[in-house]
């Protein structure tokens, strides 16, 4: 078998250019071009029309209008319950202080200023360092109802609940406190029959 020399290779190349011999396949590196795949007709991304967007917005408005009353009632209920629990917690603090310190404690209520507080009935010249004053939620009102059979208990000319040294409620203390929101929904804090404190009720009775 005769091997092709370098000169023969150049001769073949010249002959290929002249068209005398068929071109031999040559090895070369092809440049690869990456092209994005063609999008088929069924692969198009869906798009919303202006009418569809308007319908969706209208549906959201309807749903919001239906849910708004329920949400507002829920928020009002939370404010009432939160304030009632805070008032009950202050009552428990007054009972604990009365028992531990052996002195009557008073929980006064200022209906006009929408505030209430707790302090010792008798204090020294420096006052009561543990006294507390709390403001009622701005959306609520507080009222004192059903005072005792005798002379109503007061503190600084304000109606007050008086906790005795044994932790019981003085018989002349208000029997009911009422918390009311702007919509007229109320929570009542009613004295228990044992006169050991108050409980939260959804109705006055």
Nearest CA to 197 out of 166, 154, 158, 168 is that of 168
Integer Cα distance of 87 and 201 in angstroms:
13
Integer Cα distance of 80 and 69 in angstroms:
17
pLDDT score at 88 = 96
Tally of residues, the chain: 205
Exposure on the CB side of residue 133, measured as CA atoms within 13 A: 6
Cβ partners under 8 Å of residue 41, min gap 6: none
Nearest CA to 143 out of 115, 98, 178, 119 is that of 178
CA distances from 137 to 78, 111, 126 (A): 11, 12, 30
Integer Cα distance of 12 and 48 in angstroms:
66
Token pair in block for residue 23: 């071109």
Are the C-beta atoms of 160 and 106 separated by less than 8 Å?
Answer: yes
pLDDT score at 34 = 44
Residue whose pair of structure tokens reads 């990456």 in the numeric block: 34
pLDDT score at 10 = 45
Helix and strand numbers (H, E) in the chain are 2, 9
CATH architecture, domain 61-201? 3-Layer(bab) Sandwich (3.55)
Residue whose pair of structure tokens reads 């009613």 in the numeric block: 190
Tens of pLDDT, residue by residue, the chain (205 residues): 444 554 554 454 445 555 554 554 554 444 444 444 455 455 555 667 888 888 888 888 887 777 666 566 555 568 899 999 999 999 999 999 999 999 999 999 999 999 999 999 988 778 899 999 999 999 999 999 976 567 889 999 999 999 999 999 999 999 999 999 988 999 999 999 888 999 999 887 6
Integer Cα distance of 197 and 166 in angstroms:
12
**DSSP-assigned letter for residue 123:** -
Are the C-beta atoms of 187 and 179 separated by less than 8 Å?
Answer: yes
Residue whose pair of structure tokens reads 């202080």 in the numeric block: 97
Q: Give 53-103 pLDDT, tens digit per residue.
A: 888 888 888 877 776 665 665 555 688 999 999 999 999 999 999 999 999
């Amino acid at each position: 078998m005769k091997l092709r020399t370098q000169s023969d290779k150049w001769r073949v190349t010249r002959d290929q250019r002249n068209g005398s011999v068929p071109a031999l396949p040559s090895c070369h590196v092809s440049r690869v071009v990456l092209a994005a795949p063609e999008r088929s007709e069924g692969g198009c991304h869906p798009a919303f029309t202006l009418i569809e967007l308007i319908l969706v917005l209208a549906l959201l408005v309807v749903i919001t209008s239906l849910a708004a009353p329920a949400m507002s009632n829920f928020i009002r209920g939370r404010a009432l319950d939160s304030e009632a629990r805070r008032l009950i917690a202050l009552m428990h603090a007054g009972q604990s202080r009365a028992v531990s310190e052996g002195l009557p404690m008073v929980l006064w209520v200022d209906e006009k200023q929408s505030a209430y507080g707790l302090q010792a009935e008798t204090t020294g010249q420096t006052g009561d360092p543990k006294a507390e004053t709390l403001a009622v939620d701005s959306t609520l009102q507080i009222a004192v109802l059903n005072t005792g059979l005798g002379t109503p208990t007061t503190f600084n000319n304000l109606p007050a609940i008086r906790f005795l040294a044994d932790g019981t409620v003085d018989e002349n203390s208000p029997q009911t406190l009422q918390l009311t929101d702007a919509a007229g929904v109320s929570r009542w804090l009613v004295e228990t029959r044992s006169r050991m404190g108050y409980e939260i009720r959804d109705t006055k009775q």
